[in-house]
Every structure is written in structure tokens, then in C-alpha cells.
Amino acid sequence: MADAVANAVADAAAKLKLTEPAGESGPKLQLDEVTGEMVSKGELKKRQAKRAKKANQAAKPAQPASAAPKAAPKPKEEASLDPQAMFKQGFLNDVYNERPVNPVVTRFPPEPNGFLHIGHAKAITINFGFAKFHGGKTFLRFDDTNPEAEKEEYFTAIVDMVHWLGFSPCALTYSSDSFDRLYELAEKLITLDSAYVCHCNDEQIKAQRGGEKGASPRFRCEHAEQSVEHNLREFRAMRDGKYKPREAFLRMKQDITDGNPQMWDLAAYRVLNQPHHRTGDKWKIYPTYDFTHCLVDSFEGITHSLCTTEFYLSRQSYEWLNQKLVDYQPMQREYGRLSISGSVLSKRKLKELVDKKIVRGWDDPRLYTLIGVKRRGVPPGAILEFVNELGVTTTNSIIQITRFEQSIRRYLERTVPRLMLVLEPVRVVIEDAEEADETDVTIPFSAKNPEMGDHKIKFTPKEIYIDRSDFREVDSKDYFRLAPGKTVGLLNAPFPIKATSFTKDEATGKVTEIRAVFDKETKKPKAFIQWVGSDGRKVEVRIHQPLFLSENPAAAEGGYLNDLNPNSEIIYSDALIESGIDEIRRRAPWPEAAGEDKLGKGGPESVRFQATRVAYFALDSDSTDDKIVLNRIVSLKEDKEKS
């Protein structure tokens, strides 16, 4: 009896003592990015020194003395950038100083004819952010002057995305709200002898504009000579349905001699026999972008009309028309577009990918539509940070996917909790485990941020699961995970384990079970691996890689569909995740920032976490109460290989 008590005390003491290093170093373990192992700080330093030495030696014979040894590129400066830097300096600061008014009024004017993509995230951030920074307001204006392409689902999706990014428009407006006023101004323009109804066809107009390559002299057609009365009559005839599409259009009488093609008598109105989703059958003619945009900017009192540089040449006609017709003059300025290389953003191509079922829909996590980026789990705050980091200039930027992902990774690193997940589980039975070894272990959700709290999971040594990639049938000296006769640490568990034997499925050659024992002697194992107990949840994990193989799919021989990456989605249908996922789901959104909090709980994609040693993940919208589906948001480090 006394012996039993003494033994129990000694056991407990031994456990306590042995638990300490693992328990203590648990949160302090660091990822060795080369091997993917969790190791102690000291071990990591040792490994890095060894690698540096090796790299130096390798570099020396090839490099003459003058060349500095090639060090690994330094990780980008971690010092966090002022989140409002893009408004305080550079282009946007200059734009403000050009017209330092109060209040600032901007607009975000999407055409509701498709889903927004990553480039629009920049436009939203600039327009809403600029006004917000200066204490002003922003209209969300649907530029709905082309009824042919507009669909209700696009309107809703656009509003959702603006809110998701954390912005609130002061009002939702429609260019079509101004159709009456625009029509009156078109008549006024005719009265000023600054517009005429033209019946020329495309070929004639091309000739008037200098023909092929603009080689021949430019000239005006005879319609430009018509009287004001004639033009008014003809324009009203257009309005009243006398003409079919393309038979007549209203042209602005600008300056055909100007060097700027945007001044060569642009179209102001065209005949379109299409009902409009808001004005119904009222109109048979619709104003063009060039006629509408500048005037509605003036109606809404826009102070700074910010658009991409493709509209740079349009600025002249924008100002010309406003000066002719309205008192209030908004100011248009242009910034460089954002796109992501190795992706396609054109509506036609995206539609083809969706129609041919190459992707799961417009919100496929491999697409750079905003709904796709959202479904993938990229937090809105990470997008804002990315745009801010890039800054705003007049140059178009084509950003590599890897840079975008690096930015997301940095954001997630600070803001989401950690869980243990195994992609390809293999059962491990710890043979010498006793009933008493089954115990609760407490794991912090974050190594750095105690505010995220902690949670308990069951350590079930009679049956735990580790990842297939963490076991080798044959050990080697430079390998530090599990192998017969080798010891490895189990993250957060009381003792390391040593494999003793394993069984294999003869048919597949795959290991089906590993037998192991506790290794209570080894106090500091070289490496730690994650595991899931017998109470883990089965999950489907989707690992996404870029959809295309090259940086420029459009240039691929035979078109972008020939550039598809066959491994762009790899599915692990039998993955296991620890029970901590329940609390993470309950407590979402992660992080509680930028937009998602305004939408209540946020969607499934706001359930974000880092799976230790694996990647960052978010819940996919295919998840149900009974089935968890996860998308990889980004890997833990840059993927240099694969596909």
C-alpha cells in the first residue's frame, strides 16, 4: 500500500518533470522551414548554422573572392506598415493636395455585368478608403447604362463584396436614376450645336478617324453639318423608336483635329431595343459611358473621381462635356491597375472555366474573383493590407501570386489560432500506455497571443493518428521523425514515442498501423510532430495550387486552357482534425476585423486557423453540420516546387 502510494507519487513527479520540457517548449517550438519539423529554438539555430556553413562552402569554389557569399534572401521587412500609408503619401496624397476640399466625396462605379475580381479590391480600397481617410463619403454607383449585360445576381454580389471589405457606401445609386436628366442635357448639348445625330456605319467612322493605323487625314461626316433643329428632330425620333440599333446615334461635336482619339466625336447615345432592369421599357436609347460618367459624377458632387489609367485619355472629354453642360466640376485622376499574374480575370475566360466545369463555379477558391478569394478564406483585412503595401502610383502592377500569398501569410500569422490536423492519418498504438495515460492536454490557440485562449483535447495513447509523411519504414541518420527505433516528440503530449513495428497492406504497400512505446528517457526529442486523438473529426481537405502552370496563361500555345495545372486541386478526403475545431467554429470570425463583423458571424470562410506544420485553412461553403470541408488559404511557406 505504502509502496503503491510512493510509486504513484514518483510516477506523477516523473511525469511532471518530463512533461515540463514538452509543455514548456510546446508553444516555443519553431517550424524548421526546410524539413517541416517543429523543433526547439536551440535545435533550429544549430541546423541553420550548419546549413549556412554548407551553403558558404558550396558557394566558395564557384565564386571569386569579390562576390559575396550568396545568403538566403532576407524575409521582407516585418515592421508593420502604417495601415493608412497609401493615403498619406504618394499619388493619393498628391491628388488630395491638388484639391484639398472638405468633405471629400468619391464613388465606386462598377458595371453590374460580372463578378468583381482582385483588381476591383484595389478600386474599392482607394475610393472608399480615400474618402474615409479624409472624413468624407462614397457612393456605390451601379453604372447600369448597358441593359444587355446586367443581371440581378451581380448587383447583390457587388454590394456584398464592398461590405465584406469593411466599407459602407453613403448611398446606393444607379446611373439609370439620372436617365431623364441625362436626356435633357443631351438635348441641351444639341441646342449648343455640340452634338449631332449620325447615321454612319462602323467602316465610315473608322475612315473618318484616319483609317487603318490613322494614316489618312481625319474628317467629319456630312451629318455634322446638320442644323440644330434637324438634330433635335432626329434625336427625338431615335428616342421614339424610329430607328433600329446601329441605324442612328448621337455624337458629341468635339475636336476631330485634336491629337487625342477620345475627342473625335464620341458617341453619346445609341439605340438599344432592350428593356432595362430598373426603367423597364421606357427607353429605346441609352447613354454611353463617355456621356454618363462625368455628368453623374457632377450630379453626385464627386470631388475626386478616381479611376484606372486606361481612362487617362478620357479625362479630356470628361472635362469637355462637364464644362459644356454643368456648373459643378468634379476632378478625374487615374491610378495604375492591379492584376495578379498566373491568373485570368477576363469575364469571357472566367465564364469558360465555369461553363466547362474546370472550376467549381465563379467562387472557386483558385479564381481571383473576389467571391473566389473570399471562399478560399483570404481575410478582407489581408487584402486591404496587401493593397496598402503595394501603394498607389500611376503604373499598372502585375503582382505574382507568391507575393500576394506572402502578404496573406503575414496577416494570418498574427491573427488566427492554431490547431492540429493530419492530412493522411496513420494509426499509432502506444503499446505500453495504460488507462491513466489517457489524459486531457491543454493547448494554447496561439503561441504568441495569449488572448486567443486555450483549449483541452484528449490524449488517447491507445489510438492516435499521425501523418503518413511523418513516418519512414527505414530510419536514416539525418531523419528526425518517426521510424522503427527512432523517437519523436508529439506536440503538447506528455512523452515522446518510439516506433517498434508497423503493419502494411500488401495490396497497396501502404503502412496501415504503427506500434510504438513511450520513450520516457529522451527528454528533448530532436523534432515534434502533430497528432490527432481518437476523438478527432474527419474532414475533407482541399489543397489548392495555382490554376495555371505559367505566369502568363494567356500567352500559352493554344490558349490559356492549354496551361491548366492538372494538380491545382488535391483532395484529402480522410483527413483528421482535433476537436478544438468546434470552439474555433463557435468563435468565428477569425480575426474579428474588417467587414466580417458587420455581417454578423461572417460566412464559413471566416473560420480560419493555422494547422500546425501543414498550412492555413478556412472552412469551405460546402461544409454542413455533419461534414467539414476545408480549403487551404496559403501554405506556411512559399512553395517553390510542385505542380
CA distance 274 to 283: 8
Q: Is 347 a catalytic residue?
A: yes
- Per the CB < 8 A criterion, the answer to whether 143 and 107 are in contact is no
**Minimum distance from residue 144 beta carbon to Zn ion (Å):** 28
**Minimum distance from residue 228 beta carbon to Zn ion (Å):** 16
Least Cα distance to 131 among 105, 97, 109, 108 occurs for 105
**Residue number with CB closer to Zn ion (125 or 231):** 231
Q: Which of residues 198-257 bind Zn ion (CB under 5 A)?
A: 198, 200, 221, 223
What does the block give as the cell for 102? 472638405
**Minimum distance from residue 265 beta carbon to Zn ion (Å):** 9
Q: Is 111 a catalytic residue?
A: yes
Dihedral sign, Cα of residue 593, residue 595, residue 601, residue 607: negative
**Residue number with CB closer to Zn ion (23 or 261):** 261
474 burial (CB, 10 Å; 0-12 / 13-18 / 19+) is exposed
DSSP string, 279-295: TBTS-SEEE-HHHHHHH
| CA-based end-to-end distance of the chain | 63
Q: Single out the catalytic residue among 111, 352, 389, 438.
A: 111
Q: Single out the catalytic residue among 188, 347, 587, 601.
A: 347
**Residue number with CB closer to Zn ion (106 or 231):** 231
What does the block give as the cell for 138? 462614397
Across 112-139, b (16+ Cβ under 10 Å) vs e yields bbbbbbbbbbbbbbbbbbbbbbbebbbb
**Residue number with CB closer to Zn ion (162 or 198):** 198
**Minimum distance from residue 271 beta carbon to Zn ion (Å):** 14
Angle between helices 152-164 and 118-133 (to 10 degrees): 50
**Minimum distance from residue 248 beta carbon to Zn ion (Å):** 9
**Minimum distance from residue 267 beta carbon to Zn ion (Å):** 11
- Contact code string over 438-467 relative to Zn ion, x by CB under 5 A: ------------------------------
Across 599-624, b (16+ Cβ under 10 Å) vs e yields eeebbbbbbbbbbbbbbbbbbbbebe
CA distance 83 to 545: 29
- Per the CB < 8 A criterion, the answer to whether 162 and 112 are in contact is no
**Residue number with CB closer to Zn ion (231 or 568):** 231
**Residue number with CB closer to Zn ion (170 or 221):** 221
**Minimum distance from residue 200 beta carbon to Zn ion (Å):** 3
**Residue number with CB closer to Zn ion (15 or 209):** 209
Q: Single out the catalytic residue among 15, 47, 278, 337.
A: 337
**Residue number with CB closer to Zn ion (231 or 565):** 231
CA distance 247 to 114: 28
**Minimum distance from residue 137 beta carbon to Zn ion (Å):** 42
**Residue number with CB closer to Zn ion (250 or 428):** 250
- Per the CB < 8 A criterion, the answer to whether 529 and 479 are in contact is no
Select from 51-59, 63-71, 126-134, 197-205 the region that touches Zn ion (CB under 5 A).
197-205
CA distance 104 to 100: 8
Least Cα distance to 597 among 379, 322, 339 occurs for 379
Beta strands at 397-399 and 338-340: parallel, antiparallel or unpaired: parallel
Least Cα distance to 534 among 427, 396, 418 occurs for 427
**Minimum distance from residue 292 beta carbon to Zn ion (Å):** 22
Cβ neighbours of residue 387 closer than 8 Å, sequence gap 6 or more: 86, 121, 122, 125, 126, 338
Cis geometry, peptide bond prior to residue 589 (ω within 30 degrees of 0): yes
Using CB atoms, what's the residue nearest to Zn ion? 221
Q: What are phi and psi of 236, to 5 degrees?
A: -65, -35
**Exposure on the CB side of residue 521, measured as CA atoms within 13 A:** 4
**Residue number with CB closer to Zn ion (198 or 619):** 198
**Exposure on the CB side of residue 373, measured as CA atoms within 13 A:** 27
Find residue 533's DSSP bridge partners.
Answer: 464
What does the block give as the cell for 542? 482541399
CA distance 291 to 175: 11
Across 332-345, b (16+ Cβ under 10 Å) vs e yields bbbbbbbbbbbbbb
Q: How big is the site for Zn ion, counted in residues (CB under 5 A)?
A: 4
Q: Is 337 a catalytic residue?
A: yes
**Residue number with CB closer to Zn ion (156 or 201):** 201
Distances (CA, A) of 223 to 193, 201, 202, 220: 12, 12, 15, 8
- Per the CB < 8 A criterion, the answer to whether 629 and 622 are in contact is yes
**Residue number with CB closer to Zn ion (256 or 629):** 256
Element of type H or E holding 88: helix 85-88
Catalytic residues: 111, 337, 347
Binding site for Zn ion (CB under 5 A): 198, 200, 221, 223
